[in-house]
Amino acid sequence: MKKIFTGCLLVLLIGQSGCKKDFLQLDLGTTLPEEKVFSDPLLTTRFADNAYNFMIDDYGRLQDTYKGTTGQLTDEATGVVNSLSAIWAGNYLVASTDIANTYTRMYQGIRIVNTVLTNLDQVPWAGSPYNPQIVKAQMLFLRGMFYFELIKRYGGVIIVDRPFTPTEEIDLPRNSYEQTLAFILKDLKEAEDILKVESSANYSPVAEWDPGEYGRPTVGALKALRAKLLMLDASPLHNASGDPVKWSLAAAASKEIIDMNKYALQSDYNSLLNVDNSPEYIMIKVRAPRQIGGFLNDFVMSPASGGAQGLLNPTQNHVDLYEAVKRATPTGPIVSSAPINAAGSGYDPQNPYANRDPRFYANIIYNNMTWQGRQIQMYEGGTDFRIGTNTFTRTRYYCKKLWPEIYRAGATARTLINYVYFRYAEVLLNYAEALNEANGPTTEVYQNINMVRARVGMPGLPVGLSKNDMRTRIQNERAVEFAFEDIRWWDIMRWKKGPELVSQPLNAMNVARNGTSFTYTVIPVEAAYQRMPFQERQYLYPIPLTEVNKSKGILLQNPGW
């Protein structure tokens, strides 16, 4: 752990090496001693803001900082991303992306937080526009967020609540999962208590943050993080017995957010990630409109639309999760729906993209749809697919949700693709899931899941579902509602459904053109993009070997690694 808890601290330029002990780097050519920084409220708050830079903050991040999503580790998507192959094979010890790098990144953020919290009392705050309690609340929230990212990957980890000096012995044992959970909950409670009563020049408990400060934690964000943490704790990964008390606690945490009467579903599902502000946003990563750069050009977009390579390829497995719908008239409201494999659903395998859950059309680019003023061509010889060329889709689908239509060859227009930490639909579905596990499919369970479905015009779920049937429908609802939003992988892990959903055979759609019509055949994805059988040990990532090896036998590895 020495490389994580020692090194220099930065005010503007973030790094962990090449600095003298006890100095804070202000810019590339200037260093300030620690006592100087914490003698100035402005420098203190600027240094504290550095901690935000260590948060997880984008969907594509598993290679080259913009390729590879966690959805590509699941049944949601596949595609050519070199760094994913080791994870697909279950060989996590050589994988350095989400597995090893996140461990170091979170502890770097934790060190900044601990340095700020340790020095807050020595800062001369009197007469400044800054309230140290508001700074403290932000640091506690961020430490809770960093530890949440650790606990969901590794289980119990080393708890550190102060900065270490370079000469201290810091080969420390891991804390238990229960201790790590309790530590996060304590930080969140203290931060929430502060934000409910304290004010500063740019924050008040009623109006919260000024517009220029959007993206900092609020009471709602604290509650949302707590709700996600308690959902993790109540799920089979950490609740093998299905203890209903844990599920009740998770349900109550989500109900607190609902009872705030502060958030609502955005009316338009199609633009959920692309707006400046939304009643559905509880907390997002604030981003400037994106250029056609790495994430879009070199990862998401079809080469036929100007992309270098379209590597984020939704699977047929994911496409099959969108229900078939029926309407009284071709353009009328949906009157009924059912899974495509249900008797009488109306699903036509030779017209597979007609009459589907409206979220399908918001999330997926498919053959013969109109896109950027042309018809998408996923057949051999078409512009959007090439056999044997891995720069094109391997499944005959591209991801529409992360590819706004304005991004095309020669275009200069830009738009937002926000990274969402918490949105209200997840609160509603968390509440429905937790309540179903605690009490069965009550009226409230139906009300909350149906609210999410109604937003896109989907009818309510059929009455009379059993608890198990409702669980299945909620899990399916989460898969389509949060498609490509960095949620599916973590859901599968907490549900302990790896063998069923991660290592199931992945399918694609073969499209053959016959004059003006098409023939559709479901086929397996090539072997190179399939996954090895999921093993029990994969539910928790291994602690990076560099940390284990230098700990003198004190830092114990996760089981099976």
Coil vs helix vs strand at 118: helix
Total-model pTM: 0.94
Question: Is the model's pLDDT at 16 over the cut of 70?
Answer: no
Q: What is the pLDDT of residue 410?
A: 87
Residue 468 burial (C-beta neighbours within 10 Å; 0-12, 13-18, 19+): exposed
Angle between helices 424-439 and 443-454 (to 10 degrees): 150
24, pLDDT greater than 60: no
Distances 18 to 105, 113, 166, 443 between C-alpha atoms, Å: 17, 20, 13, 60
What amino acid is encoded at 122 in this protein? Q
99-107: average pLDDT:
94
Contact 500, 74 (CB under 8 A): no
DSSP label at 561?
Answer: -
* Residue % of the chain over a pLDDT of 70: 94
Confidence of residue 165 (pLDDT cuts 50, 70, 90): confident
Euclidean distance between CA atoms 235 and 33, whole angstroms: 47
The overall average pLDDT reported for the chain is: 93
pLDDT at 334: 98
Query: Measured between alpha carbons, how far is 250 from 235 in angstroms, rounded to an integer?
Result: 10
Domain extents in the chain: 41-56+94-217+541-560
41-56+94-217+541-560 maps to which CATH number? 1.25.40.390
Instruction: For residue 238, give the 3-state DSSP assignment.
Output: coil
